[in-house]
Amino acid sequence: MPAVRRSVARPSPARERFLLVVLVELWLLNVADFALTRYALWLGFATESNGVMDFFLRAGAAPALAFKIGIVTVGALLLWRLRAYRAATVAAVLLTGVLAAVVSYQVFWVLSL
């Protein structure tokens, strides 16, 4: 019985490690996204199309950074808390993949300027 309970409450250690690394990557990509967005805005070649982020960016770099890092940190912690569910890993992988695509696009875009 305890073994059955443990298997429900915890993912396999391998998946747990994978999720942890993916969430760390997600967090780092989020910081890179913020830095690249700020740089593109400073260059004058872009505008922030996300209304919420635009509000915080207008308030200053520190509030925008606090909001962006804060919300992704909370989201990552939530996914970590839900790590027993395979969906949490799938969500983390999807989010990280999409953010990697966004950051990659931004890097190529900035390099093309």
The CB-of-75 to another protein minimum distance in angstroms stands at 16
Of the pair 52, 66, the CB lying nearest another protein is at 52
| Burial class of residue 86 in the structure, from the number of CB atoms within 10 Å of its CB (0-12 exposed, 13-18 middle, 19+ buried) | exposed
Residue 64 C-beta: closest distance to another protein, Å: 18
Answer for the pair 88, 19: CB distance below 8 angstroms, yes or no.
yes
Binding flag, residue 85, another protein (CB under 8 A): no
- Candidates 57, 64, 62, 88; CA nearest to 75 is 88
**Least distance to another protein, CB of residue 66, Å:** 25
* Cα–Cα separations (whole angstroms), residue 22 to 45, 86, 91: 31, 14, 10
Contact call for residue 93 and another protein (CB under 8 A): yes
Instruction: Give the interface size with another protein as a residue count (CB under 8 A).
Output: 34
C-beta separation of 57 from 46 below 8 A? no
Q: Under 8 Å CB-to-CB from 83, ≥6 apart: which residues?
A: 10, 11, 15, 16, 19, 89
Q: Taking contact as CB under 8 A, which single stretch among the options 30-38, 56-64, 70-78, 98-106 is the one that binds another protein?
A: 98-106
| Binding residues among 15-74 for another protein as defined by CB under 8 A | 16-18, 20-22, 25, 42-47
Which residues lie near another protein (CB under 8 A)?
10, 12-14, 16-18, 20-22, 25, 42-47, 93, 96-109, 112-113
